[in-house]
């Protein structure tokens, strides 16, 4: 209810996003933050075509809630031509997790595409990350990602850098 000053909250988005994160961590253990938030956004956008869960406080621009496919397509086209040609490097930017910025938007797009078009690849990515987290936190007590940064980037490169960014950009147009 915008009149009541609570227009930055959507209960459905909150439930879908947090459930996706809880399900992922229950099955895989903690994940790199950008991927964990990316799975949240797969659920939010899949159900509501908007994003309302962010990992920061304060004002969120209206544009940050909507049009993620268009933003991701533009970022993928830029990534394919520019210095950020590695989707894995973008997905490894923990400092961008949970924010409506290029690294998080691209990570969401890659995860959403894999969930829709190549679930075995998504499953393999999550399994490899789960194994890494399990090695770093054998008792499963950590509440944050404990994987080694270099090994995490290696796993992300193995699974993400081979993706066809042009095909994903076309898929986002739908």
Q: What is the pLDDT of residues 9-51, one digit of tens each?
A: 789 999 999 999 999 999 999 999 999 999 999 999 999 999 9
145 has a pLDDT exceeding 70: yes
pTM, to two decimals: 0.92
> Residue 174: which pLDDT band, with cuts at 50, 70 and 90?
confident
Confidence (pLDDT) at 64:
87
Q: Are 133 and 30 in contact (CB under 8 A)?
A: yes
Q: Examine the pLDDT at 132 and tell me if it is beyond 60.
A: yes
pLDDT tens figures, 104-117: 999 999 999 999 99
Q: In which region does residue 137 sit, left (phi positive, over 0), alpha (psi from -120 to 50) or beta (all else)?
A: beta
Q: For residue 69, give both structure tokens.
A: 């496919």
* Mean pLDDT taken over the chain: 91
How far is C-alpha 156 from the geometric centre of its chain's CA atoms?
12
Between CA 170 and CA 22, with CA 158 as vertex, the angle to 5 degrees is: 80
């Amino acid at each position: 209810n915008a009149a009541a000053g609570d227009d930055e909250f959507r209960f459905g988005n909150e439930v879908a996003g947090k459930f996706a994160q809880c399900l992922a961590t229950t099955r895989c253990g903690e994940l790199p933050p950008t991927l964990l938030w990316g799975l949240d956004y797969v659920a939010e956008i899949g159900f509501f075509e908007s994003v309302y869960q962010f990992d920061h406080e304060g004002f969120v621009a209206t544009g940050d809630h909507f049009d993620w496919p268009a933003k991701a397509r533009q970022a993928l086209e830029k990534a394919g031509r520019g210095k950020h040609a590695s989707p894995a490097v973008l997905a490894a930017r923990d400092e961008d997790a949970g924010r409506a910025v290029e690294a998080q938007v691209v990570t969401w797009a890659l995860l959403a595409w894999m969930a829709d078009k190549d679930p075995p690849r998504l499953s393999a990515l999550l399994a490899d990350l789960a194994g890494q987290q399990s090695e770093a936190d054998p008792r499963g007590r950590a509440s944050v990602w404990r994987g080694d940064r270099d090994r995490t980037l290696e796993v992300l490169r193995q699974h993400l850098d081979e993706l066809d960014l042009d095909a994903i950009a076309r898929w986002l147009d739908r």
